[in-house]
Each structure stands twice: as structure tokens, then as C-alpha cells.
């Protein structure tokens, strides 16, 4: 089973009767963008590792 795409999340949103767009936007703003920002700060040398 390939879980690297958004299909399982989309199906779960359908079962729970939740708006998938709102769920994906929350994942993007609360998970993906902060991790990307931390990675950029590490690459720039602002955050030491």
C-alpha cells in the first residue's frame, strides 16, 4: 500500500464528513511549512545543528 499520497487522508475526511481542503491546508500550515522554514534556517546557518 502506497501511503505517500493524500488518498488515505482524503478517504478518512470523507468518512468523517470533514472538508478535505481545510484538512490539507492545516497540514500544510502546521506541519509542512514550519519544517521547511526550519530546514531553510539550518541551511543558511542561522540555526545550528
Q: Rounded distance, CA 8 to CA 27, Å?
A: 14
Identify the domain containing residue 31 by its residue range: 7-43
pLDDT tens digits, 2-34: 556 778 888 999 999 999 899 889 989 999 999
Q: Rounded distance, CA 49 to CA 44, Å?
A: 11
Within a domain: residue 26? yes
Within a domain: residue 2? no
Within a domain: residue 37? yes
Q: Is there a contact between 19 and 13 (Cβ–Cβ < 8 Å)?
A: yes
Total structural domains in the chain?
A: 1
Q: What is the pTM of this model?
A: 0.66
20: which 3 cell numbers? 478535505
pLDDT value, residue 10: 86
Amino acid at each position: 500500500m502506497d501511503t505517500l499520497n493524500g488518498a488515505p487522508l482524503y478517504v478518512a475526511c470523507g468518512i468523517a464528513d470533514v472538508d478535505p481542503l481545510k484538512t490539507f491546508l492545516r497540514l500544510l500550515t502546521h506541519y509542512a511549512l514550519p519544517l521547511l522554514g526550519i530546514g531553510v534556517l539550518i541551511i543558511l546557518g542561522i540555526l545550528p545543528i
